[in-house]
Amino acid sequence: MGNALKAGIVGYGYMGQIRKTVIEEHPNLELSAICDANLLLADSDFGCPIFTDYRDILEKDVDIVFVCTPNAFSPEIVISSLNQGKHVFCEKPPGRSIDDIRDIIEAEKANTPAKLMFGFNHRYHPCVNEAKVLVDSGRYGKILSLRGVYGKSGGLGFEDSWRNKKEISGGGILLDQGIHMMDLFRLFCGDFQEVKGFVTNSYWNIDMEDNAFAMLRNEQGQVATLHSSATLWKHTFRLEVFMEQGYFVISGLLSKTGSYGRETLVVGKRQFEDETFALGNPREEVTYFDRDLSWITEVSDFVDCIQNDKCVTNSSSTDALKVMELIGRIYGDDPKYKVERFGGGGE
Amino acid sequence: MKTTVQYDDIREFEFKPGTTLSSYLQLTRDDVKSYFLSGSSLVDCSCPACLSHERSEAFSKFGLNYQECSNCQTLYVSPRPDENAIDEYYRKSKAREFWNQHLLTETEAKRREKLFKPRVQWIIETVEEYFPSAQRFSSINSVHPPFLQELVESDYFKKIRIVTPRADLSHVNCEKDGVQVVNDAIGAFSNPTDAVTLFEVIDRLSDVNAFAGALDKMLVPGGLCFLTTISISGFDLQVLWDKSNSIFPPDRMNVLSTEGLMLLFERHGFECIELSTPGLLDVQIVANAYKENASIEIPRFVRYLMEQRDNDTLQTFQEFLQMNRLSSFARAVFQKK
């Protein structure tokens, strides 16, 4: 543990607990403190000091702060941590609005060399990795279009979650979950210049959207469509990548509960040169993945950036800003559902 | 870890024409007798996969006894000929000569298109994802000219070697393709390697454990081992058992279960990246065997399936086998930690 970085966790909910496991498994990290405003357990339960105020952690000898709090609290904690010279790993989304991420970036710039990374862990899922390798190989030509569906089953207590309280989360299903798919769109196709969106509240009694539909187009003419939903009644993750010489379908996601289904990558090759001979069912190869290494791999990437003084290029603050701008434009494009507080809308 | 399922149209007889295969099996039976059963000493061994001594007698084939491991269900020959005797067999036997001159030649075009092209693609894509700096490649103990040609044409690896003490290399023009030949066992080969292939290699080794140890020394950390083999976890082998034309010595002295395969490589410090059974032929093989000999003993359910259900159902059943690692053709990728 001689060269291990000391890590503190702020926010010990679902994500905080996942991060704790990752920190404990990582050879270059050492858990030094946990903070949660509602934590009633003693230090001995965790093997490290426990605090209820995040400022206490910043006074400690901690190298990295993992910010795992609800959206309303993340920006302040991230900025304070950066101002104290700490490296920061922050869960997505990076706050409730575009202004939040802009403020964070200012603090990042003012506190070089402190590193900052955001938890867009879907980039690190094995099926996404494999698809990205295939796309980058060039063997399938250029990407023509993307189609993504990401949705929740809803369920008992859905309306009561902090994620569905506007003053805490800042946005509904699009900001909570659709943001991952938007991030993957950018991973595969880069930035998008044109944005069209519909944002609806079609079923749940919440003051934010439970469905978002978006169409994006970039300067290369690549089009991506998104359906982010809290009314699919089944946990669903599906990203289709259509290319000149074939297609990939990423579906299911390895998760703690397995509720998104087996993580799968289908690779199909275009099997005709002349449309007359097109096959309705081309040869496909399906790969099933058994182990989710996304959490550990993304943190390893961050640790590598810190220990070897590398720029954060994956899930960086620029990635966070760009994806928040896209989300802002989707909200802003629907006059019936303009989220004033999100800012940066599409007018 | 991951597993891959493939959909394609391949017929059993495309790779193993019936009459040619029968001749090969007959020659093998004769050669096993002259090379291993008359005078040569056979040695008892534990399970090649998990090293367990617990076993039960399975059946006898060509005069050699197959055992079933009670721990991991691997099927293996014991007592068995030693490595020198097997090397001698693969260099000189009539069966091997027949294999090279007939079976390989007659099916070369099909094998190249349907087996080796996809295999080269598989290797390159996996290397790109898991060890992108790999440049030094070695094919161990097996020589498949169409595979090597595909690999050379891909221009992916800077250095390609064949490392083998036993194969007849007369039918391979390595110089033309810039492939280096090391005529030795891998234990004696000291140059570090980034990626190796073992195509149907562990099936016919006398000492699998020593081989895996040598492989561990040969590969650099992060190095990849690509492996294909037949697996006793597969449907056609479990159903046909001793009647299977795929189980015979010495080509298939070790028929590992998928569990055994994992135990073998994990014991030697490898991590499994992929374990798939993307076989396409299990159901076809059982159907063909049943067609040729209706009195063959197969479970009632399988008989019902063969007699009453159409090709679509059989195809779906084959896909189920692949999805659940229950086809008898296995492929795996192990990475050295």
Instruction: Tell me: pLDDT of B13 over 70.
Output: no
What are B292-318's pLDDT values in tens digits?
A: 888 888 999 999 999 999 999 999 999
**Nearest-angstrom CA–CA distance, B129 and A159:** 41
Instruction: Tell me: pLDDT of B168 over 70.
Output: no
Quick one: pLDDT at residue A152? 87
Query: Which region holds residue B241: left if phi is over 0, alpha if psi is between -120 and 50, else beta?
Result: left
| CB distance A176 to A96 below 8 Å | no
SS3 A202: coil
CB B129 to CB A288 under 8 A?
Answer: no
What are A111-170's pLDDT values in tens digits?
A: 999 999 999 999 999 999 999 999 998 989 999 999 999 998 877 788 888 888 889 999
CB B5 to CB A133 under 8 A?
Answer: no
DSSP state of A4: P
Nearest neighbour of A286 by CB, restricted to B1, B5, B8: B5
Question: Which tokens go with A29?
Answer: 């990290």
Q: Which of B73-77, B96-100, B156-160, B197-201 has the highest mean pLDDT?
A: B73-77
Question: Which tokens go with B47?
Answer: 């399970």
Task: Examine the domain organization and report whether A172 and A219 are in the same domain.
Answer: yes
Number of domains in chain A: 2
CB B3 to CB A137 under 8 A?
Answer: no
Q: Residue A205: inside a domain, yes or no?
A: yes
Q: Which residue has the tokens 């009459």?
A: B19
CB B4 to CB A287 under 8 A?
Answer: yes
SS3 A220: coil
DSSP state of B297: -
Q: Identify which of A49, A50, A85, A54 has the alpha carbon closest to the alpha carbon of residue A67.
A: A54
| CB distance A311 to A324 below 8 Å | no
Extents of the domains making up chain B: 12-336
Q: Residue A347: inside a domain, yes or no?
A: no
Q: Where are the alpha helices (DSSP H) in B102-143?
A: 104-106, 108-111, 117-130
Q: Which residues 6+ apart lie within 8 Å of A220 measured at CB? A: A142, A189, A190
Tell me the CATH number at A215.
Answer: 3.30.360.10
pLDDT band at B40 (very low <50, low <70, confident <90, very high): low
Q: Identify which of A40, A34, A30 has the alpha carbon closest to the alpha carbon of residue A15.
A: A34
**Nearest-angstrom CA–CA distance, B262 and B49:** 8
**Nearest-angstrom CA–CA distance, A287 and A298:** 22
pLDDT, averaged across chain B: 89
**H or E element that contains A135:** helix A126-137
CB B125 to CB A133 under 8 A?
Answer: yes
Strand ranges for chain B from DSSP E = 2-6, 55-61, 64-69, 75-77, 136-140, 159-163, 180-182, 193-199, 219-230, 254-255, 270-276, 329-336
Q: Which residues 6+ apart lie within 8 Å of B42 measured at CB? A: B36, B64, B79, B80, B81
Selected residue with higher pLDDT from B13 and A203: A203
Identify the closest residue of chain B to A289 by CA–CA distance.
Answer: B2
Residues of B in contact with A133 (CB under 8 A): 125, 128-129
As assigned by CATH, the class of the B12-336 domain is alpha beta
Q: Residue A42: inside a domain, yes or no?
A: yes
**Nearest-angstrom CA–CA distance, A320 and B51:** 52
**Nearest-angstrom CA–CA distance, B219 and B225:** 8
Please give the single-letter amino acid code of residue A211.
N
Task: Examine the domain organization and report whether A202 and A264 are in the same domain.
Answer: yes
**Nearest-angstrom CA–CA distance, A60 and B243:** 71
Q: Identify which of B125, B174, B146, B117 has the alpha carbon closest to the alpha carbon of residue B4.
A: B125
Quick one: pLDDT at residue B215? 93
Quick one: pLDDT at residue B24? 92
Query: Which region holds residue B256: left if phi is over 0, alpha if psi is between -120 and 50, else beta?
Result: beta
Q: Residue A346: inside a domain, yes or no?
A: no
Identify the closest residue of chain B to A138 by CA–CA distance.
Answer: B125
Q: Which residues 6+ apart lie within 8 Å of A59 measured at CB? A: none
Measure the CA dihedral B240/B241/B243/B245, to 10°.
Answer: 90
Quick one: pLDDT at residue A324? 97
Task: Examine the domain organization and report whether A68 and A202 are in the same domain.
Answer: no
What are B237-256's pLDDT values in tens digits?
A: 999 999 999 999 999 999 99
CB B4 to CB A134 under 8 A?
Answer: no
Please give the single-letter amino acid code of residue B104.
L
What are B271-299's pLDDT values in tens digits?
A: 999 999 999 899 999 999 998 888 888 99
Task: Examine the domain organization and report whether A175 and A279 are in the same domain.
Answer: yes
pLDDT averaged over 10-residue windows placed end to end, chain A, 347 residues: 86 94 96 88 78 93 96 97 98 95 97 97 95 93 98 83 89 95 98 96 89 97 97 95 96 88 92 67 86 93 97 97 96 74 47
Please give the single-letter amino acid code of residue A297.
T
Greatest C-alpha distance within chain B: 57
How far is residue B232 from each of residues A14, B65, B95, B207, B229, measured CA to CA in Å? 43, 16, 24, 19, 10
Task: Examine the domain organization and report whether A130 and A261 are in the same domain.
Answer: yes
Tell me the CATH number at A53.
Answer: 3.40.50.720
pLDDT band at B145 (very low <50, low <70, confident <90, very high): confident
pLDDT band at B174 (very low <50, low <70, confident <90, very high): low
**Partner B contacted by A291 (CB < 8 A):** yes
Quick one: pLDDT at residue A47? 84
Which residues form the domain of A206? 122-292+325-341
| CB distance B162 to B143 below 8 Å | yes
Task: Examine the domain organization and report whether A77 and A127 are in the same domain.
Answer: no
| CB distance A304 to A310 below 8 Å | yes
Task: Examine the domain organization and report whether A224 and A210 are in the same domain.
Answer: yes
Geometric angle at alpha carbon B153, from B148 and B157, rounded to 5°: 75
Please give the single-letter amino acid code of residue B43.
V
Q: In chain B, which residues touch A (CB < 8 A)?
A: 1-8, 124-125, 128-129, 323
Distance in Å, alpha carbon of B298 to nearest chain A alpha carbon: 30
Beta-ladder partners of B70: none
What number of other Cβ atoms are within 10 A of residue B233's Cβ? 25
Q: Which residues 6+ apart lie within 8 Å of B273 measured at CB? A: B1, B2, B126, B130, B224, B333, B334, B335
Task: Examine the domain organization and report whether A244 and A274 are in the same domain.
Answer: yes
Cis bond leading into B79, ω under 30°?
yes
A14-25 and A294-307 helices, crossing angle to 10°: 60
Task: Examine the domain organization and report whether A22 and A149 are in the same domain.
Answer: no
Measure the CA dihedral B66/B69/B74/B77, to 10°.
Answer: -20
**Nearest-angstrom CA–CA distance, A161 and A64:** 28
